[in-house]
Chains A and B, each alone.
Chain A
Amino acid sequence: MPDLSHLRADFPILHQQVSGHPLVYLDSAASSQKPRQVIDALVRYYERDNANVHRGLHELSNRATAQFEAVRTQVARFLGAESPDEIIFTRGTTEGVNLIAQVWANHFLRAGDVILTTGMEHHSNLVPWQIAASRCGAVVKYVPVLDDGTLDLDAMQALMAEGDVKLLSCVHVSNSLGTINPVADICAWARARGIVTLVDGAQSVGHMPVDVRAIGADFYVFSGHKLCAPTGIGVLYGRRQLLATLPPWHGGGEMIDSVTLEGSTFKDAPARFEAGTPDIAGVIGLGAAMDYLETIGIDIIHQHGRELIHATMEKLSEVRGLRVLGPPLPAERATLAAFTIDGTHPHDLVEYANTKGIALRGGHHCTQPLMRRFQVPGTSRASFYFYNTHQEVDRLVEVLHQAVKFFS
């Protein structure tokens, strides 16, 4: 087990008391904490280099532009993309999905076409497709989720074989089940049928090795804030050949080639999809976060997470009336566990844990159809990152035992 506890010193926020107890932060699937290195990068940018990018000829603008574009190259390498031109900066996963659901769908989707997604998607990978489909008379179909929290892959292939599927959008790692979907297989099946693919990487990037070309996705989206970067910055990876076929999204500065009163022409990707002044500080923060993670090693982070969730699953099974959603051991799971406890509502449990200094998430986790599928009103979720420790898992389980006693 890699011991990463020394890294906690890099996270100022972790060293505080909540409700009179040391903070145990178990909500990283909602948003990760930020190391000093990322916070310092933001301060350094604002104190030394702040200027708009791509327009000035002055020193500060040159510096800001160089750092901004260096991160694009860094992200391309981090994801295994072919070129930095395939990296579009967005506000986050949600914006990345919406960009494709609007630009691609407006351009290519026709009445009667099918968008295929799954029953375990976050609302951000469901609602944009419902909106896009309703605009043009297309249909959204959903791959069912099996009792063990995995996708019904036979049903998925059968749906693809029906012939009208134009795009498949699927989550890499479920935020509610911890399921790791075989996205490389899924994208290969889709590609064989000429179906465009989008993979939601909100819970995977920064937690496990991700190589977009090995996966074979046409589009891959994620948010920076779940991997130690600031909120408000995200990435849409798009395969170059496909981006070249898409019209612009937002119009404005930065994305144009030339503008006359009669009309305008547009730059190629990525600028074509980045109208207006971008979140420069956010991008620089994302670069610092990726530097930080690569210094630790994504493989090490992945290994740490696997061992932590394995221990968590074993210890949770000792809590009376507790049921974890998603794949049971020894299946591969992401570093999160969402669970129900008989007779104790998630919000009461999360409230109880909060008074012990433990930050959990309670509710439907923006996956209401999935909650209905498993007939639960919601779940309590503990989610981990590399700064979490086995002692924190023990503390969680201790408090869960107390809570069961308190509420039953």
Chain B
Amino acid sequence: MAPSDDLLALYQQVILDHSRHPRNQGKLEGTGCLHARGHNPACGDEVDVWIQVGPQGQVEDIKFEGQGCAISQASASLMTLKLQGTSLDTARALLADFHALLSGQGQVQHEDALGELRALEGVQKFPQRLRCATLASKAVEQLLAASPAQHAIQEHPGSPSAL
């Protein structure tokens, strides 16, 4: 029997593709590199995200490692593609929109800008999977809320690559 419509909405082809073949997998090291970690104690899913902040305060490089369900890993993969090259302000706005879209709470300002991340919208019908879908993005949102560019400079004073 064919999978149900809800299931196909949750596990869209793009999500299955990214869970099987995650993009931007790996670690980043070096000064000015930010690190966020998401962990869901209820299911044990983990994701680590590294962001290299460029001289203009933009996401110069972003990578992730993790283990968990298709939803959490595909979401992390899609997020890294979306945030690559954006300014930190844009990244914050994208993540806020992404979380508003998935939770159904708050205003989504620029839904189109979310691009393929919209594929995660199917979790609306699976509320218990919301934490999976936002595991990486919530961790990065928290990291960026702490004004990370300045944070990085303070951690590595005098380092030319910090800014």
Report A's interface with B, CB cutoff 8 A.
19-20, 343, 345-348, 351-352, 355-356, 362-364, 368, 371, 377-378, 402, 406-407
On whether the beta carbons of B3 and A406 are closer than 8 Å, the reply is yes
Complex: A378 Cα to B42 Cα, angstroms: 11
By a CB distance below 8 angstroms, the chain B residues around A345 are 68-70
Q: Which of B4-12, B51-59, B82-90 contacts A (4 or more CB under 8 A)?
A: B4-12
Contact of B42 among A19, A20, A343, A363 (CB under 8 A): A363
Instruction: Give the shortest distance, in Å, between A405 (CB) and chain B (any CB).
Output: 10
Complex: A251 Cα to B53 Cα, angstroms: 59
Complex: A402 Cα to B1 Cα, angstroms: 8
Q: Which of A19, A346, A347, A368 has the most CB of B within 10 A?
A: A347
By a CB distance below 8 angstroms, the chain A residues around B126 are 351
On whether the beta carbons of B6 and A406 are closer than 8 Å, the reply is no
For B10, the closest partner residue in chain A by CB is A351
B16 interface residue (CB < 8 Å to A): yes
Task: Give the tally of cross-chain contacts (CB within 8 A).
Answer: 51
Complex: A155 Cα to B45 Cα, angstroms: 33
On whether the beta carbons of A406 and B11 are closer than 8 Å, the reply is yes
By a CB distance below 8 angstroms, the chain B residues around A347 are 43, 45, 68-69, 71, 129, 132
Complex: A346 Cα to B132 Cα, angstroms: 13
Contact of B7 among A346, A355, A364, A378 (CB under 8 A): A355
Contact of B43 among A20, A352, A378 (CB under 8 A): A378
Q: Which of A343, A348, A368 has the most CB of B within 10 A?
A: A348
B106 interface residue (CB < 8 Å to A): no
Complex: A371 Cα to B42 Cα, angstroms: 14
On whether the beta carbons of B16 and A407 are closer than 8 Å, the reply is yes
For A398, the closest partner residue in chain B by CB is B1
On whether the beta carbons of B44 and A20 are closer than 8 Å, the reply is no
A-B contact pairs, 8 of them (CB 8 A): A345-B68, A347-B43, A347-B132, A362-B43, A402-B3, A406-B3, A407-B16, A407-B70
By a CB distance below 8 angstroms, the chain B residues around A364 are 43-44
Q: A363-B43, A371-B44 are in contact. Are A348 and B70 (CB under 8 A)?
A: yes
Q: Which of A343, A346, A362, A377 has the most CB of B within 10 A?
A: A377
Complex: A368 Cα to B46 Cα, angstroms: 14
Contact of B4 among A19, A362, A371, A377 (CB under 8 A): A19
On whether the beta carbons of B67 and A377 are closer than 8 Å, the reply is yes
Complex: A319 Cα to B7 Cα, angstroms: 21
Contact of A368 among B3, B44, B71 (CB under 8 A): B44
On whether the beta carbons of B43 and A348 are closer than 8 Å, the reply is no
Query: Beta-carbon contacts of B110-144 to A below 8 Å, as 1s and 0s?
Result: 00000000000000001001001000000000000
Q: A377-B67, A377-B68, A407-B16 are in contact. Are A355 and B3 (CB under 8 A)?
A: yes
Instruction: Give the shortest distance, in Å, between B131 (CB) and chain A (any CB).
Output: 11
Instruction: Give the shortest distance, in Å, between A347 (CB) and chain B (any CB).
Output: 4
On whether the beta carbons of A352 and B7 are closer than 8 Å, the reply is yes
Instruction: Give the shortest distance, in Å, between A182 (CB) and chain B (any CB).
Output: 30
Complex: A407 Cα to B74 Cα, angstroms: 13
Complex: A6 Cα to B42 Cα, angstroms: 37
Complex: A377 Cα to B42 Cα, angstroms: 12
By a CB distance below 8 angstroms, the chain A residues around B10 are 351
For B5, the closest partner residue in chain A by CB is A355
Query: Beta-carbon contacts of B56-79 to A below 8 Å, as 1s and 0s?
Result: 000000000001111100000000
By a CB distance below 8 angstroms, the chain A residues around B69 are 345-348
Complex: A371 Cα to B44 Cα, angstroms: 10
Complex: A348 Cα to B43 Cα, angstroms: 11
By a CB distance below 8 angstroms, the chain B residues around A378 are 43-44
Complex: A352 Cα to B4 Cα, angstroms: 9
By a CB distance below 8 angstroms, the chain B residues around A356 are 1
By a CB distance below 8 angstroms, the chain B residues around A352 are 3, 7
Complex: A15 Cα to B22 Cα, angstroms: 42
Instruction: Give the shortest distance, in Å, between A340 (CB) and chain B (any CB).
Output: 12
A347-B45, A363-B42 given; name 13 further pairs at CB < 8 Å.
Answer: A19-B4, A345-B68, A345-B69, A347-B69, A347-B132, A348-B11, A348-B70, A351-B10, A352-B7, A362-B43, A368-B44, A371-B44, A406-B11
Per the 8 Å Cβ criterion, residues 8-53 of B in contact with A are: 10-11, 16, 20, 42-45
By a CB distance below 8 angstroms, the chain B residues around A406 are 3, 11
On whether the beta carbons of A377 and B44 are closer than 8 Å, the reply is yes
Complex: A163 Cα to B129 Cα, angstroms: 49
Instruction: Give the shortest distance, in Å, between A202 (CB) and chain B (any CB).
Output: 20
Complex: A377 Cα to B70 Cα, angstroms: 13
By a CB distance below 8 angstroms, the chain B residues around A368 are 44
Complex: A168 Cα to B11 Cα, angstroms: 46
Instruction: State the 5 A-B residue pairs at the shortest beta-carbon distance, nearest first.
Output: A345-B69, A347-B69, A355-B7, A348-B70, A355-B4
